[in-house]
Amino acid sequence: MPVVVLTKRAGPSTLGPAHLSRIPISLIKMNNEYSNKTVEGRVIHKGPLVSLQPGNYILKAVIQEHDSPPNASSEDTSINIVLLGPLATDFSSAVNQGDVVVASGFTVGKSPTFRKDKLHRCNLLLSGDACVYVSRPPPPPPDPTSLPAMKRSTVLSTEVSRSTKTTKYTYVRLNDLKVGSVVNVYGVVVFFKQPFRSRGTDFCSSLKITDQSNQKISCTIFCDKVDSHPKIFQIGDIVRMHRFKAQFFKDTIMLVNTFGFSVMAFDGAVGGAMEPRTSSRTYHFDQDDQRAVEELRLWAANQGLLPLVPTTPLSAVQPKTYFNLTCQLLAKAPVDSTCTLLRVWDGTRCPRSLLKVIVEPNVTEGPSSLSSAKENLIANVLVYDNHVEFARQLKLGAFLRIYNLRAIPGSSKVPGLTSSQSEEVDHLAFHLHGGTAYGRGIRLLPENSPDVQELKRVIEAFEEDEDKVPELNDSEMLDVWCTPPESLDGDTVTCSTERSCSHNIQPVTLSELKRSEPGRDHHVRVQLRSYEPLRLHQALKLYCSKCETMQDVPDDELVAELFSEASRYSGPCTPPQWALSGQVSVPRDSLGTPDRTLHVHLSTQLMSEGKSKELIFLMGATLEETCRLADGYQNIVPVRPSGGHLALLDLSAPFLFRGRKRYYGCKQCSEAALTEVSAEGVQVIDEKVIAEALGVQLLQFVLLMKLKLQDATDTLDVFLWRDAELFFNVSAEDVAADQEAQSSICHTVESLCPAEGSTGGRPWLDLCLTTYQAEDDQGQIQTCYQICHTTITTPSSTRPDPEPA
DNA sequence: GCTTAGGTTTTG
């Protein structure tokens, strides 16, 4: 009887055997005897089942004292529990995050992760005769007070354990549905609508799913309880559906729920959390299910079914498009009977100014004024018609995903009072139109979803930055704001740059500058006469801070060839001991290339920490496939077989894919070896952590340009390198990954140096230049100049000024 | 208790 599920919460004292006494988590110590004690807590983390050897599993979880004082430290209230053998499998299938459990028969060990997770210094080890009792919130009436507490737990307890006989479900492939039959199916979601109120008594939700048969099947779910509907967050999610009836509609077969139906949903990313999204209190979920989910995930990833951009941050929203937004609700206000205003943010800044909607302060729920920095990040979303009801129920601070939100530029009229920021301003309004077409709707995201965790990180980062602003001291402020506009021709001249250095020096002319001693900083007022490279993507370089060399970014064609070379070779290969490996075959394509197998290797250590999605090693994939998979994983390291073992690709190829970003290593300075990447003591597994673990000397993306400056007295060639990112207000890494960041640089440069014959003049630039001496190719000492501490402020709105005299 | 919707963009 290793794991016992009590379907009714009977009070802490009745959970677990009565002859044992409960010990608070804070009092647990090493070397004490706990055979007559129990520990009680809420499961706040449940790790995946990790296979030690065939049939033998380990599972880690964290429980937290649920009735501890709110100010108690996590060290006193939360403890790791480690379950071994059948207990692990039973726990995995019977216990959910959020459940309250009581454990007995445990032993106490030293927690190896204490420094990292700041939880209790000990952990609880459960194996053999240990026992876990689980309680769940009570189901709706019958009236629970009608039975004495002790009797209740006996009457209503059910046992979910390896000894319990459970119904074995069989699942039908989607191309094998027979009209009239009631079936169980698995599928990958390719389209979905959130539950919406039907004209009847129920809520209705729609899904379209597919599976390895490639058949696409529409499904309809009717149920009066929204919570029983599938919890789909994005395309690519996986669903398991029980008791659905196949029927004909419009010459095609589809599925509708029947009596006793149930639906479970899972994250669709390979290696993602195995935690089912379900409202069922008890459910069957075993290793076959786990395998079914993993198989579908791999298949879907390889089919490209996972969306490239599941949701769009406000910083990337394009006008006139429909997009999905993951955001936090800050305030709301009813506008009229068909429209409600939701004020939301995601911590990123939309480059367009956003529509300001003014509603009367006394109808607004939430803060009426926010810091102006925060205010600039807030998007006003107008939701209409059927969505108003849902919006009304939303609580402030909730994390939402809004599907099929429309970004409307410029002159759209909105109900209520629009501020003086009127139609000629290029602003964006966000509308959630009425209806459910294209899955339009709003979904509440649970706190533990990875997307919410990510959103919180971004928001926290913004709030930290905001706290820093007042630290700018007065003299710095004066220098930034009071640099007197020096005008060569006596008129006030608009300037497109802003210096942020603390030098208190007068500007000099270029001819004066050329006569002065090197090794000093200067301020100049100049125009941009020309620049190199003309093809701006060539300005992007890879720089090694160790050997101080710079190289070009390898082009896609070369990288693709390295990948296809690596994927063609398929000799025998033993994965390292720390890896858990899986494979998926890529069917022959229309060009008749032979079947290939993709191999995925995951670190068992990371898996046991619930971080399997954070890093995978991928073998046999093409560049394109790798890029596609990079959407589902935080980190992908491409590998190839070499001498019977796994090795990194040639370092001309990126050694790491993080979303759209690629990272390269220095061939000269790296001593690459495929070793396990440990997340010990690190917050985020990022490129630095991985590079270090793999012995790769990380190359840094940098921008390098040569600019020819001019003023009335002379011209001067200067470099833009060290402070290039500051100058353009972009990161080189973003430029490498993001077309928009590239075009922003192009526009900036073009506005500073308009093409011959164009009407725009050259704006004046206030620059801070540093001079230094360096050897040129021939070994000659030369004086060099670099632009420092300077940022372009208004490239597009600069008025043309007359040519210098 | 046996209906609801049946993807496919508001018209603010």
Three-state SS string across A472-534, please?
CCHHHHHHHHHCCCCCCCCCCCCECEEECCCCCCCCECHHHHHHCCCCCEEEEEEEEEEEECC
Task: Please tell me whether any atom of strand B lies within 7 Å of the Cβ of A207.
Answer: no
Range A581-589, long-range pairs (CB < 8 A, 24+ positions): A582/A294, A582/A298, A584/A298, A584/A299, A584/A301, A584/A302, A586/A302, A586/A625
Angstrom distance (rounded) from CA A385 to CA A440:
12
- In this structure, is residue A368 part of a structural domain? yes
Residue A729 sits in a domain of what CATH number? 2.40.50.140
Among residues A403, A423, A455, the one where a domain terminates is: A455
- In this structure, is residue A475 part of a structural domain? no
Examine the domain organization and report whether A232 and A334 are in the same domain.
no
Query: At residue A301, what are phi and psi to the nearest 5 degrees?
Result: -60, -40
Are the beta carbons of A415 and A383 closer than 8 angstroms?
A: no
The 3-class SS string of A600-668 reads EEEEHHHHHCCCHHHCEEEECCCHHHHHHHCCCCCCEEEEEEECCEEEECCCCCCCEEECCEEECECCC
C1' of B12 to CA of A261 (Å)? 39
Closest CA to the C1' of B6: that residue is A249
Among residues A676, A697, A718, the one where a domain terminates is: A697
- In this structure, is residue A158 part of a structural domain? no
- In this structure, is residue A684 part of a structural domain? yes
SS3 A226: helix
Tokens of A177: 């549905």
Task: Please tell me whether any atom of strand B lies within 7 Å of the Cβ of A433.
Answer: yes
The whole-number average pLDDT for the span A322-329 is 97
Q: Give A613's pLDDT tier (boundaries 50, 70, 90).
A: confident
* Nearest Cα to Cα of residue A572 among A625, A483, A645, A636: A645
Among residues A697, A723, A757, the one where a domain terminates is: A697
The whole-number average pLDDT for the span A557-584 is 82
Angstrom distance (rounded) from CA A223 to CA A195:
9
Task: Please tell me whether any atom of strand B lies within 7 Å of the Cβ of A719.
Answer: no
Which residue carries 């539950």 as its tokens? A195
C1' of B6 to CA of A446 (Å)? 30
Angstrom distance (rounded) from CA A294 to CA A289:
9
Which nucleotides of strand B lie under 7 Å from a protein CB?
A: 1, 3-12
pLDDT, tens digit (0-9, with 9 covering 90-100), for A743-793: 888 788 888 887 765 556 788 888 988 888 887 777 778 888 999 888 888
Examine the domain organization and report whether A98 and A220 are in the same domain.
no
Examine the domain organization and report whether A16 and A34 are in the same domain.
yes
* Distance set, CA A539 to CA A280, A700, A720 (Å): 56, 13, 10
pLDDT of residue A160: 38
Q: Which of A124-128, A141-145, A249-253, A326-330 has the lowest mean pLDDT?
A: A141-145
**How many other CB atoms are found less than 10 A from the CB of residue A372?**
7
Are the beta carbons of A624 and A586 closer than 8 angstroms?
A: no
Name the closest nucleotide to A249, judged by C1' and CA. Answer: B6
Q: What is the pTM of this model?
A: 0.47
Examine the domain organization and report whether A283 and A374 are in the same domain.
no
Examine the domain organization and report whether A40 and A61 are in the same domain.
yes
- In this structure, is residue A155 part of a structural domain? no
For chain A, what's the residue count? Answer: 805
Question: Has residue A8 got a pLDDT over 70?
Answer: no
* Owning domain of residue A584: 556-697
Q: Give A352's pLDDT tier (boundaries 50, 70, 90).
A: confident
DSSP A254: E
* Distance set, CA A264 to CA A48, A149, A158, A159, A211 (Å): 17, 32, 21, 21, 16
C1' of B7 to CA of A217 (Å)? 12
The whole-number average pLDDT for the span A100-119 is 84
Examine the domain organization and report whether A115 and A29 are in the same domain.
yes
The whole-number average pLDDT for the span A245-273 is 94
* Nearest Cα to Cα of residue A755 among A529, A478, A511, A451: A529
Angstrom distance (rounded) from CA A417 to CA A397:
25
pLDDT of residue A487: 31
Which residue carries 């919006």 as its tokens? A391
Residues 134-193 of A with CB under 7 A from strand B: 190-191, 193
**How many other CB atoms are found less than 10 A from the CB of residue A744?**
18
Examine the domain organization and report whether A286 and A360 are in the same domain.
no
- In this structure, is residue A523 part of a structural domain? yes
C1' of B3 to CA of A223 (Å)? 11
- In this structure, is residue A361 part of a structural domain? yes
Counted domains in chain A: 5
pLDDT, tens digit (0-9, with 9 covering 90-100), for A34-70: 888 889 999 888 887 777 766 777 888 999 988 777 7
Examine the domain organization and report whether A291 and A318 are in the same domain.
no
**Residue A156 Ramachandran class (φ > 0 left, ψ -120 to 50 alpha, else beta):** alpha
Angstrom distance (rounded) from CA A518 to CA A187:
69
Examine the domain organization and report whether A595 and A672 are in the same domain.
yes
Instruction: Give me the percent of chain A exceeding a pLDDT of 70.
Output: 84
CB-side neighbour CA atoms (13 Å) of A196: 19
Which residue carries 């006469």 as its tokens? A529
Q: Give A161's pLDDT tier (boundaries 50, 70, 90).
A: very low
The whole-number average pLDDT for the span A265-271 is 92
- In this structure, is residue A486 part of a structural domain? no
Q: What residue type is A600 in one-letter code?
A: V
Closest CA to the C1' of B4: that residue is A200
Angstrom distance (rounded) from CA A643 to CA A646:
8
Examine the domain organization and report whether A180 and A237 are in the same domain.
yes
- The Cα angle at residue A365 between residues A364 and A371, in degrees rounded to 5: 80
Angstrom distance (rounded) from CA A747 to CA A352:
16
Examine the domain organization and report whether A562 and A526 are in the same domain.
no
Name the closest nucleotide to A193, judged by C1' and CA. Answer: B7
Examine the domain organization and report whether A515 and A383 are in the same domain.
no
Name the closest nucleotide to A322, judged by C1' and CA. Answer: B9
